[in-house]
Amino acid sequence: MIPDDAVERLMDSAQAIGNACEKAGVAEWEIFASQGYGHSLDIEAGKISMASGGGDGGFGIRIVDEGRYGFAHLVDPSSASNAISQALSIARKSPAIEGFELPGNLSATNVGGMKDKAILDMSPEDLLEQGDQVLTRVAELDSRAVAVGGGVGVGAGAGAIVTSSGIEDGGVYTSHGIGIHVSIEENDHLTSSYEGESSRTLLNDLTASVDKAVHWSQITREKIPGGDTEDCPVLMTSGGFSPLFSVVVPSAIKGERLARGESFWSGKMNQQVIADHLSIVDDGLMEGGMSSGSRDDEGVPSRTQSIIESGRLIGELWSTRDAAKLVSEGKVESAQTTGSASRGGHTSPPICGCSDLILSSSSKTHSREKLIEEMEQGYVVHSVMGAHTANPTSGDFSVTTSTILRVEGGEIVGALSQAGFSGNMAKALSGRVVLGDSSKRKGSYSTGSMHVPDVLMMDGLRINPA
C-alpha cells in the first residue's frame, strides 16, 4: 500500500526544501511533510456503492524571522522557491512575537503500535470481502435492517519533519476503520443508529459496530409518549458523551484560552473544578494511540501529563507559538510548549490541541446495567445532534437526540421519538457523577482522540421530550 522508502523520500525532499530556505537567507525554518495512501469502500442502501483508492500529500513550510511567522504549503519540491517567498512575505507583514523561536532538538521516546503490517498487506479485494461481511452481518441480525450508509477503509501514511534547529524525524502509521449507519423501517416507523470504530491495528471484530448499530435501531422502536420537561439524571453512553466532551473540554484546557479568560476553568488553576474522584490525562505516548507519537507536530517530544487530578485543575496545554505569544502579551508570567502541537495535514500550520485524552475515576465503576439501576429514574442518551454548537467558553449546550430511552424504577421502559437535551458540561461533571466500566476510543470534533466510558451525570441536565 505504501512504498518501502516513503519516509526516506519525504526526508530527502524536506531537507532539500530546507536547504532552499537557507539559500534564501531564512534563519529559522521547519518543513513538515506527509504522504497518505489508502483503500476505501462506501455502503449505501444495503449495497457497496463505490470502492476507491489513492493518495495525497505535500509539504508545509513554516518560517520565523525575528518573531514574525509565515506559512506556505506545496506539493512539488521543485516549486519550493515560490512557497518560501510566499511564507517570507507573510512573515514580514505579521506582528512580531517577542521570544518566539522554533523548538530545539530534544531526545524523544519511541512510541510503538503505530504501524500494522497486516494493514499494509491488505488489498482492495480484502476490503471488498470485509464490506460483504458487514452487509451479511446486518441481514443475519435483523431481516428488517438495512445498512443505509457508512463504509470501511484502510490507510497508511508517512510523515516527516526537518527543521533548522536539527530536528529530523519521520515514520509510518496505519489505520483501519468502519462506520455503519443502520435503519429499520416497518409499519411507517423508522429507527436508525450509527456506530464507528478505528484503530492503528487491524480491527479484530469488524462486526462489533454492526451489532451495536442494529441493537440501538431495535431497542428504540418501542416508543412511549414524552412527558414534561424535567431536570433529571442522564446516562450518556460513550458514543453520546464523546461529541459534547470533545467540543468543550479540549478547548477549556488550552493554556491560551485559560489565560485569556475564555475557558470555564480560567482562574481556577489548582482548584477543584470537577468531582473529586475524576481525573483527565492527556497521553501523547499511548501505544497505538490515534493521536500519539514520539513527537508532536512541530517536533517537540510528546509526553503524558495530568490535566485534572482528583478533580483539581493542575495542567494545561501549550504549543510553542501560543506560549511565546501569551508571555509577550503579559497574560502569563511564563509558559512553554507541552508537546501539544497538532496539524490537520501539510496544508495547515500547527495549533495547540490534545493527544489521546482520557477521562477516568478513582471510585468504583459500573456496568451499563448497574448504572441504569443507580439512576433509578431518568434517561439514557446514546447519540446527540448539534454537539458542535456547544459553547466551549461557558460549557453550555443545547442539542437534540433521537436515540433516547426512558428509565423508571431502575429499568428501561421505552424510547422517545425525539427530545431536546441541555445543560452545562462543567457543572454536570462537578456534581454527582458515576463512570462506566470500560473506556472507548472515540473521534473528536476538535483535535485528538477521546477515551471515555459511559457517564452517569445526576445533576444539572435537562430533558425536553418532543
Across the range 12-25, mean pLDDT stands at: 97
Query: Which residue is associated with the grid cell 454536570?
Result: 428
Q: What is the pTM of this model?
A: 0.95
3-state secondary structure of 228: coil
The one-letter amino acid at 300:
V
Looking at residue 439, its pLDDT comes to 87
* Statement: residue 272 has pLDDT above 90: yes
Q: What pLDDT, on a 0 to 100 scale, did the predictor assign at position 444?
A: 77
What per-residue confidence (pLDDT) applies to 363?
A: 96
Indicate if the pLDDT at residue 53 is higher than 90: no
- Tell me the mean pLDDT in the region 8-21: 97
Contact 274, 249 (CB under 8 A): no
Q: Specify the DSSP element, H or E, that contains 236.
A: strand 234-236
pLDDT of residue 126: 93
- Tally Cβ neighbours within 10 Å of residue 27: 13
pLDDT at 4 > cutoff 80? yes
Which residue do the cell numbers 459534547 mark? Answer: 244
Give the pLDDT confidence score for residue 61 in this predicted structure.
Answer: 98
CATH 3.30.2290.10 residue ranges of the chain are 6-219
What phi and psi, each to the nearest 5 degrees, are found at residue 47?
Answer: -140, 160
Measured in residues, the chain has a length of 466
Look over the chain and give the mean of its residue pLDDT values, rounded to a whole number. Answer: 95
Read off the C-alpha cell for 187: 409499519
Per-residue pLDDT at 114:
97
The pLDDT of residue 50 is above 90: no
Report the C-alpha gap between 179 and 134 in whole angstroms. 10
More confident: 55 or 282: 282
pLDDT at position 241 = 96
If you average pLDDT over residues 325-339, what whole number do you get? Answer: 97
Does position 253 have pLDDT exceeding 80, yes or no?
yes
Give the pLDDT band of residue 327 (cuts 50, 70, 90): very high
Average pLDDT value for residue range 407-420: 96
From the list 80, 104, 94, 85, the residue with the least C-alpha distance to 28 is 104
Q: Pick 6-219's CATH classification: 3.30.2290.10, 1.10.150.20, 3.30.450.40, 3.40.1390.10.
A: 3.30.2290.10
Confidence (pLDDT) at 55: 85
* Residue partners of 434: CB distance under 8 A and separation at least 6: 361, 363, 365, 366, 371, 374, 455, 456, 458
Q: pLDDT digit string (tens) for 380-413? A: 999 999 999 999 999 999 999 999 999 999 999 9
Question: pLDDT-based confidence at 52, cuts 50/70/90?
Answer: confident
Q: Which amino acid is at 371?
A: L
Instruction: Give every strand in the sheet of 304-309, ordered side by side.
Output: 312-313, 304-309, 278-283, 356-361, 449-452, 440-442
The pLDDT tens digits for 181-198 are 999 999 989 999 999 999
Flag whether pLDDT at 215 surpasses 90: yes
Query: Residue 418 has what pLDDT?
Result: 94
Three-point CA angle 197, 200, 205, nearest 5°: 45
Residue 141 has pLDDT above 90, yes or no: yes
C-alpha cell belonging to residue 273: 473544578
